[in-house]
Structure formats: structure tokens, C-alpha cells
Amino acid sequence: MSSTEVSPIEHGKIEEAGLETANSGTERAFLTGWRLHFTTLGIVLTLLLINLEVTIVSTSLVAITNELGEYSETSWIVSTYLITYMGFMILWSKFSDIAGRKFSFLATVFIFTAFSGACGGTRTMNQLITCRAFQGIGGAGGYSLSTLVTYEMVPKSKLPLYGAVNAASVALATLLGPLFGGLVNNHTTWRWIFYLNLPAGVCVMVILFLTIPSGFPDHTSSNLRKQRQTLRVTLQAMKRIDIAGGILMLGGSLLLSSALLETSLRFGWSNGGTIALLVLSGACWVLFFSWEWFISRDRVPQEPLFPWKFVHDGPWKGMLITTLFAGVPFNVIVVFLPQRLQIVSGQSPLDAGLHLLPYTFGAAFGAAISNALGSKRRLATGHVLLLGAALQVLGLALLSTSPTNNVFPSKAYGFATIAGVGMGMSFGMLVLATPWMVDQEDLSVASGAIIQFRFLGGVIGLAIATSMLNARVKTHLANILDARTLSALFERTEVLETFSPTVRAQVIHVFAQEYNLQSYVMIAFAAVQIVVVLVFWNPKWAARDLIQ
């Protein structure tokens, strides 16, 4: 018997433990029975919690800034979370290759839970922004490892089913986040949107600890013996983590976001500070890709966060660029639509959350459609991506026609639904197709990258949208409000209620006009996805039997 085969006796032990061998030629084992069911539950709850944090805050931003002040810093509450959320996804995936999936998964949930409590206890805006950054580090690992463990716990033939379950969890979080945020703000302090993660996070950690086998996914008896024998060289293996690449990626993202966000608040485009931030950001990205090229040539022990083979893989490169551009409009709508409904239409946080449901439900429905189309082979991967992008363009174009007064017409919720369905279809298919687009040895990096690039797009989109809104609103309101009143408005938006009806109508008109302009810009990012899919079209995307 070869060293890679499982003996009948050992196979029996594996089955008794709730495991099933991956195939007859390897010792990789899939989960079955109670382990599979409860691990799935743990993954679903993890995805639900960490994705709630992206949307639950959206309806709470006005309440947070009215208590802590500094409305102009609103986007940092979301962007800081997304920057670390985005920046650490691949790092966690690579770390789990060395420290193990189970330990890494538990560590991510612990960090997320601990700093959720810290966010709830903050007393200043700077404290909240800092704690959100650390919360995002934990959330990044939770998302990427949930996806990676799903890829490894069942055969590929079952991935459409479990991918659909995960997509439903993410969609449900997107759906319920604004609603929960509105409920919390209507009945108690905004701090409970963070405190509620404490008992939920502990529950998730217990489930994952009890159900994920030690050594997963190589948890057969002989593999565990090998792992114990090599435990002493773990510190040596830590050198494989591409820390330099992670720092450069974070630096590039943070500096670019800072330049875009702060330009409209404190600097101008010609200011030396803005120019310095943009130059440093560009330098970080150049150094990042140069470093990834260098270490991909096996000259150093680090394993690249972005293997250079990705650059030469047309279909995979196209998927990464597509998810980057899709992330831009998705996050902008989630954050700014509730703000529009509260500031312009005067709705409560709860009503704003309820009226965001058509968009988030559309995203959930779109993700379900893409998984159904993929699993039944009714439509090719490339066709789903084209359809998703086309629906985004249509929905955003219609949404940009909203009136520039305090009325948000009922038909606009239908427009938001169309855009949401398009977003969900794109995201669902991109995640589902990933295991078929890369080699098995690159799966951990790829599973993090497909999500990481989406949130990189979200960070860039929020920075662009915030910069545009703040700069243009300040310019147009300078002729309506005096400098002191304008400053007070950007500190706390509740000041709007003290204005006379005439002035309030003028201010609302300016805000509504700029929110529509955001939609115009988002149309461009949606349309670029169509171009990308057509440019990188490949037989891999066209094969109807890709997802089996």
C-alpha cells in the first residue's frame, strides 16, 4: 500500500468520526454527519455576524455622529473597518496554511468579538474608528476562512449547495443589518449594535471548537502524526507569511482612502498633503506588485499573497478586476441610501433600514439565482457576470433620476431592487466559480483574494463618493449658510431641524442633487464590468459544465 492510501481499518475510523475520504488516492477527508452540519452552522453564523457589521452601521451613522460629533468623519467609521477587513483576508488564509484552519478560525472570531465590545464602549470618534480597524482584522479572517473551510469540507460537486447556503447567510446579513440598526437606534443606544456581538461571538467559538477536527483539512490519523512531528518547526514555517506584502497592501489602501476622504474635509487637490498621500499610495502599490513578482520566483521563503501566475491567468484576472469594480457601487448604496433617507427625507433610522430592504433583498435574490444557474448549468459563468453587470447599470441609471427634494418615490425602491439583483448575481457567481479557476495549491490565497478585491473596491468607492459629496455640498451651501452654521451642519446633521422651512428646502435640494450625482458615477463602475468580462472572455467562462 502506498503512503498516500488509507487502509480499510483507518477508513473505518474516519467514517466513525463523521468523516469521508476525499477520494481513493489521497488522505484528504471531507466532513459528514454531525460534524458537517454543525460546522456549516458555525460558518453560517460567522458570515452572518461579520457581514452584519458592514450594513448594520449604515442606519446608525447619523445617530453615532449626533452623539460623538464629527459628521464629516462618518465614512471613516465604515472605511476603516473595510480597509482592515480587505487588507487581512489573504493574510489570514496564508496564516491558516501554517497555524491550521481551526486555530486561525477561532482566533479571527475572538478578535472580532473582543473589539466589537470595545467599539460599544468608545467615548470619542477616534476611539471608535480605531476599534473598528481591529474589529475589521477579525472580520477579515472570519470571512476568508469561512469560504476556505467550505471549499475543503465537501466535494466540489456539493459546493453549489453549500455555496448557496453561505451566499444566503451573507445576503441575510446585508438584508437584516440596516433593519436591526434601525430597531436598535429607535429603542436604545447605538452601542448595542456592537454589544450584541459578544454573546453571539462566544456561541460561534464554542460551535467551531467542538466541530472542526484538529488538523483540518488533513485530519486523518497519519497526517495528524506528521503534524505533531513537525510542530517544532512551526516558528520556522511562520517565515513563509508574506508580512511585507501585507503591510504594503494595507499602506496603499489606507493612504489612497485618506487622500480621497481628507481632500474634501481639510485639503484641496493641489495641497501638498494630498499630493504626498497620493504619491506614497502609488509607491506602496508599485512596491507591493514588485515584491509579489520577486517572491513568486522562489528566491525567498515567503509565499506570495498575490502569486504572479495570477497576472498571466486571463480568466482569473478578469474575475478579480470584475469583483473590484462591483464592490464600488455595492458599498456606496448600502452606506449612502440610508443617509439620504434620513437627511433628505427625514426618515427615522428604522424607516431608513426598512426602505433599504428592497436593495438588500435584491442582492440576496441575485446571489441565489447565480448559484442556481451555476449548479444546474443553465447559464455559463461569463453570461451570469454580464447579466449581473447589465442589471447594475440599469438599476443605478434609474435610481439617478430620483427627484431633488425630500420625496423619495416608491418606484425608486424598485430601481434599487434591480441594482441589488445585479450585485448579488455578480458576487454569487464570482465566489462559486473560484475553485474551478485556480490550482488547488492556490485555493487559500484565491478564496481570500476574490473577497479582498471586492472590499478594496468598496473602500475606494466610499472614499470617492464621500469626497464628492462633502466637497460639492460645501461649495453649494456656502452661498446659503454662513461658515459657522455650515461647520455645525457637518458636525451634527440634526442642526438641519433648526433651519427655517425655506433654508431647509434649499439645503435638502443640494444634498439630494449630490446623492443623485453619486449614482451617475456608480453607473460608470458598473458599466466597466461589462467591458472587463468581454475583454477577458475565455472558454473557461463559457463552459456550461464548469460548475458540476
Residues 6+ apart with CB under 8 A from 59: 178, 179, 181, 182, 185, 338, 342, 349, 350, 352, 353, 356
State pLDDT tens for residues 124-156: 888 998 999 899 899 988 988 988 888 888 887
Domain CATH number, residue 79: 1.20.1250.20
Report the pLDDT value the prediction gives residue 541, as an integer from 0 to 100: 66
Q: Please state, in angstroms and rounded to a whole number, the distance separating the CA atoms of residues 409 and 246.
A: 45
Of 449 and 42, which is predicted with more confidence? 42
Report the pLDDT value the prediction gives residue 198, as an integer from 0 to 100: 93
Report the pLDDT value the prediction gives residue 207, as an integer from 0 to 100: 93
Report the pLDDT value the prediction gives residue 64, as an integer from 0 to 100: 83
- The helix/strand/coil state of 21 is strand
When mean pLDDT is compared across 38-52, 260-274, 315-329, 532-546, the lowest value belongs to 260-274
Cell of 285: 502599490
Highest mean pLDDT among 155-164, 267-276, 290-299: 290-299
State pLDDT tens for residues 399-441: 989 888 888 888 988 999 999 999 989 988 888 888 778 777 7
pLDDT category, 269, cuts 50, 70, 90?
A: low
pLDDT category, 109, cuts 50, 70, 90?
A: very high
Q: Please state, in angstroms and rounded to a whole number, the distance separating the CA atoms of residues 445 and 90.
A: 6
**Phi, psi for residue 379 in degrees, rounded to 5:** -145, 140
State pLDDT tens for residues 440-450: 777 777 877 88
Residue 262 falls within a domain, yes or no? no
User: Which residues pair with residue 29 across a beta bridge?
Assistant: 21
Average pLDDT over residues 34-41: 90
Residue 293 falls within a domain, yes or no? no
Residue 547 falls within a domain, yes or no? no
Q: Please state, in angstroms and rounded to a whole number, the distance separating the CA atoms of residues 87 and 89.
A: 6
Report the pLDDT value the prediction gives residue 266, as an integer from 0 to 100: 58
Report the pLDDT value the prediction gives residue 261, as an integer from 0 to 100: 64
Report the share of the chain in percent with pLDDT over 90: 17
Average pLDDT over residues 449-457: 82
Q: How many domains does the chain have?
A: 1
Of 78 and 4, which is predicted with more confidence? 78
Is the CB of residue 35 less than 8 Å from the CB of residue 213?
A: yes
State pLDDT tens for residues 478-537: 888 888 888 777 777 778 888 888 888 888 888 898 899 988 999 999 999 999 988 888
Q: State the chain's mean pLDDT as an integer.
A: 80
Nearest-CA neighbor of 51 among 162, 151, 212, 175? 175
Report the pLDDT value the prediction gives residue 18, as an integer from 0 to 100: 45
Domain housing 371: 14-224+237-241+303-542
Q: Please state, in angstroms and rounded to a whole number, the distance separating the CA atoms of residues 240 and 262.
A: 36
Helices (H), 121-215: 125-153, 159-187, 192-195, 197-211
Average pLDDT over residues 59-76: 74
Report the pLDDT value the prediction gives residue 375, as an integer from 0 to 100: 62
Is the CB of residue 56 less than 8 Å from the CB of residue 119?
A: no
Q: Omega of the bond prior to 155 within 30 degrees of 0, cis?
A: no
Is the CB of residue 216 less than 8 Å from the CB of residue 151?
A: no
Average pLDDT over residues 355-372: 83
Residue 95 falls within a domain, yes or no? yes
Q: Please state, in angstroms and rounded to a whole number, the distance separating the CA atoms of residues 252 and 248.
A: 6
Q: Please state, in angstroms and rounded to a whole number, the distance separating the CA atoms of residues 480 and 35.
A: 63
When mean pLDDT is compared across 75-84, 131-140, 185-194, the lowest value belongs to 75-84
Burial 340-351 (b: 16+ CB within 10 A, else e): bbbbbbebbbbb
**Phi, psi for residue 31 in degrees, rounded to 5:** -90, 145
Report the pLDDT value the prediction gives residue 1, as an integer from 0 to 100: 40
Chain-centroid distance of CA 412 in Å reads 25
State pLDDT tens for residues 210-267: 988 887 877 554 444 444 444 444 555 566 777 888 888 878 877 877 776 666 555 5
Residue 261 falls within a domain, yes or no? no
Query: What is the pTM (predicted TM-score) of this model?
Result: 0.73
Report the pLDDT value the prediction gives residue 229, as an integer from 0 to 100: 40
Residue 69 falls within a domain, yes or no? yes
User: Which residues pair with residue 31 across a beta bridge?
Assistant: 19
Residue 433 falls within a domain, yes or no? yes
Report the pLDDT value the prediction gives residue 365, as an integer from 0 to 100: 86
Report the pLDDT value the prediction gives residue 24, as an integer from 0 to 100: 39
Residue 254 falls within a domain, yes or no? no
Report the pLDDT value the prediction gives residue 81, as an integer from 0 to 100: 83
Report the pLDDT value the prediction gives residue 174, as an integer from 0 to 100: 73
pLDDT above 50: residue 546: no
